[in-house]
Amino acid sequence: GAVVSQHPSWVICKSGTSVKIECRSLDFQATTMFWYRQFPKQSLMLMATSNEGSKATYEQGVEKDKFLINHASLTLSTLTVTSAHPEDSSFYICSARDMLAVYYNEQFFGPGTRLTVL
Amino acid sequence: GQQLNQSPQSMFIQEGEDVSMNCTSSSIFNTWLWYKQDPGEGPVLLIALYKAGELTSNGRLTAQFGITRKDSFLNISASIPSDVGIYFCAGLDQKLVFGQGTRLTINP
């Protein structure tokens, strides 16, 4: 149980275009999902917390107009990188919190999405 | 903001050796987690620690939650090739804060 999927697993796009990444909890419901960014050989940095039915909470320094987050259902959150630039190239990882888990704070991670902006 | 200091940054060991890595924090966490990340994949939870002083094992892995709630260590005994990867500690409050990672390389 507790499987999180991401789609696509990798994407290459031209500078200036927008890219949407999906995060799904496959076998549980998640009122809260998290989006992380990981640059090569670095740790995971939290970008934003996505709450079902409400606005996302962004970490300091993360542009909310550039990284649009939508959490329309208990199993799906999307991250849209708008007007992507080469510096946005990174590994984007989502996680989901199982609202019914005994240890409800536990997060389950997706496999990540490799974004390359040319 | 909160930061975790994880050490060592990298380890090069022989197969069969034991491994030890640790994490310290400037602030208290109520939960400590240890993850392993393989290249191109998301982190996978190895061990979760919920109580100060708790010592928990998962196969060849053992982790402890420090009494002060500001530190944790992870030990891997009798390393095997599939242990290769990056290990992250993480402190959990309302959100996860990750350490910088320990890259483990094993020479056969």
> Are the C-beta atoms of residues B32 and B98 closer than 8 Å to each other?
no
B-chain CB neighbours of A109 within 8 Å are 35, 42-45
Quote the pLDDT of residue A34. 95
Residue A93: which of B31, B42, B45 has the nearest Cβ?
A: B42
Q: How far apart are CA A30 and CA B94, in angstroms?
A: 15
Mean pLDDT across A77-100:
94
* φ, ψ for residue A66, nearest 5 deg: -95, -35
Of B44, B48, B100, Cβ closest to residue A43: B100
CB contact under 8 A, B96 and A46: yes
For residue B4, pLDDT over 80 is answered with yes
As beta bridge partners, residue B12 has B105
Distance from CA of B44 to the nearest CA of A (A): 7
Which residues in chain B have their CB less than 8 angstroms from residue A108's CB? 45
Mean pLDDT of B39-52: 92
